[in-house]
């Protein structure tokens, strides 16, 4: 009797104070939602703060390298944002003008603004370097993956082909490919890309051989995984870290090689504002209009050094 009386009193107390019941439910729901809120806490402000912290910790040289590449990329994407001059049409009476407020880098022998030709030439040099690196990366990764995974006589045959490609001077091999394919920016990019296949293939093969002997790869094969699936899911992703650093290095080398071919007359035809062709056009006036050669030459050097600096940073992070 006393037990029923106490339970009745307890129910009466809860009924008299409904806030206790709702408060308990609110506490339970808050406890359930708390982990969800903690998981969703890193939002955009947190990501921006983390990115800003990384920028502050980055070396000044690395920031300058990324800034140079970002500026040149913007030139290639939207050149009209940076200059209002036509890079192909000249102005009568404005031939060989020295750098001034109207023409920041002077004008050439046909009265064309040199700064505008540099800006509009970024798309030709960068797109050619991108095509060259893509060709070398894809073909070289495929050859290196096959050689490192298959082994045996397949590896020997692929690596002997790579040795032959590496034994030929890169400029001579590029000229040979251009003579076969023909002149032009695309053909020059393909030639430079074919030259870089050997470097990518040798690096990928060494990385595949290293990763293939790892414990998790042996475990995946021992658990019944197909060889091609293990190669695609485990071996290849863990072999591309150093390949990305080499791609950044080859990007700068490709710009230098394409500019060299353009300087020799095997690249883009006039009046295309390609950087190597700009240097070639200005060499006849180097004593009277030095800016025609100095500006594109310094720009090519800055872009190549920036790409090399980024590649060195990626290599240090991997180590």
Per-residue pLDDT tens over the stretch 150-177:
778 888 898 898 888 888 888 888 888 8
Same domain, 168 and 252: yes
Predicted confidence at residue 218, as pLDDT, reads 67
H-run or E-run covering 146: helix 114-150
Identify the DSSP state of 239: G
CA triplet 91, 93, 98: central angle to 5 degrees? 90
Predicted confidence at residue 123, as pLDDT, reads 92
Domain count across the chain: 2
Give 250-272 pLDDT, tens digit per residue: 999 999 999 999 898 888 888 88
Instruction: Give residue 304's pLDDT band: very low, low, confident or very high (50, 70, 90).
Output: very high
Give 15-26 pLDDT, tens digit per residue: 444 444 444 444
The H helix count followed by the E strand count for the chain is 13, 0
Rounded to an integer, what distance in angstroms lies between the CA atom of residue 130 and that of residue 124? 10
Instruction: Give pTM, 2 decimals.
Output: 0.76
Q: Which residues pair with 107 in a beta bridge?
A: 113
Residue 244 lies in a domain: yes
Contact between 114 and 106 under an 8 Å Cβ cutoff? The reply is: yes
Cα distances from 229 to residues 221, 226, 236, in angstroms, run 9, 5, 10
Residue 283 lies in a domain: yes
pLDDT beyond 60 at 4: no
Last residue of a domain, one of 39, 57, 75: 57
Give 203-227 pLDDT, tens digit per residue: 888 888 887 777 776 676 677 667 6
pLDDT beyond 50 at 8: no
Predicted confidence at residue 223, as pLDDT, reads 72
Residue 5 lies in a domain: no
Same domain, 73 and 36: no
Rounded to an integer, what distance in angstroms lies between the CA atom of residue 251 and that of residue 129? 6
pLDDT beyond 80 at 318: no
> What is the span of the domain harbouring residue 40?
18-57
Contact between 155 and 218 under an 8 Å Cβ cutoff? The reply is: no
Same domain, 40 and 165: no
Mean pLDDT, range 113-124, rounded to an integer: 92
Same domain, 254 and 314: yes
Predicted confidence at residue 93, as pLDDT, reads 82
Same domain, 75 and 128: yes
What mean pLDDT value characterizes the chain?
Answer: 80
The CATH number given to whatever domain includes residue 300 is: 1.10.3720.10
Residue 2 lies in a domain: no
Same domain, 42 and 95: no
Same domain, 204 and 98: yes
Residue 13 lies in a domain: no
Same domain, 166 and 276: yes
Predicted confidence at residue 40, as pLDDT, reads 43
Residue 12 lies in a domain: no
**What whole-number percentage of the chain has pLDDT above 90?**
27
Residue 25 lies in a domain: yes
Same domain, 182 and 197: yes
Same domain, 150 and 36: no
Same domain, 101 and 49: no
pLDDT beyond 80 at 229: no
Mean pLDDT, range 112-118, rounded to an integer: 92
């Amino acid at each position: 009797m006393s037990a029923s009386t106490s339970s009745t009193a307890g129910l009466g107390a809860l009924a008299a104070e409904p806030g206790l019941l709702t408060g308990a439910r609110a506490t339970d729901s808050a406890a359930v939602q708390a982990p969800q809120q903690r998981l969703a806490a890193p939002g955009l402000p947190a990501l921006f703060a983390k990115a800003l912290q990384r920028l502050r910790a980055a070396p000044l040289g690395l920031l300058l390298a990324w800034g140079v590449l970002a500026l040149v990329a913007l030139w290639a994407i939207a050149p009209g944002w940076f200059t209002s001059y036509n890079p192909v049409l000249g102005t009568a009476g404005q031939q060989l003008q020295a750098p001034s407020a109207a023409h920041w880098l002077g004008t050439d022998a046909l009265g064309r603004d040199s700064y505008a030709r540099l800006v509009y030439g970024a798309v030709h040099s960068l797109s050619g370097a991108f095509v060259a690196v893509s060709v070398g990366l894809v073909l070289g990764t495929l050859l290196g993956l096959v050689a490192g995974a298959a082994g045996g006589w397949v590896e020997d045959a692929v690596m002997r082909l790579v040795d032959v490609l590496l034994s030929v001077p890169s400029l001579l091999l590029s000229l040979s490919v251009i003579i076969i394919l023909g002149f032009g920016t695309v053909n020059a990019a393909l030639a430079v890309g074919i030259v870089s296949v050997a470097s990518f293939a040798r690096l990928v093969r060494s990385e595949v051989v290293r990763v293939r002997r790892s414990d998790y790869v042996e475990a995946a094969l021992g658990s019944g995984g197909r060889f091609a699936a293990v190669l695609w899911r485990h071996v290849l992703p863990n072999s591309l870290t150093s390949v990305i650093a080499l791609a950044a290095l080859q990007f700068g080398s490709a710009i230098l090689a394409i500019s060299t071919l353009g300087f020799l007359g095997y690249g883009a035809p006039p009046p295309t504002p390609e950087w190597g062709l700009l240097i070639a056009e200005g060499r006849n006036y180097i004593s009277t209009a030095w800016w025609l050669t100095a500006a594109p030459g310094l720009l090519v050097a800055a872009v190549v050094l920036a790409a090399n600096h980024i590649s060195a940073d990626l290599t240090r992070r991997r180590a």
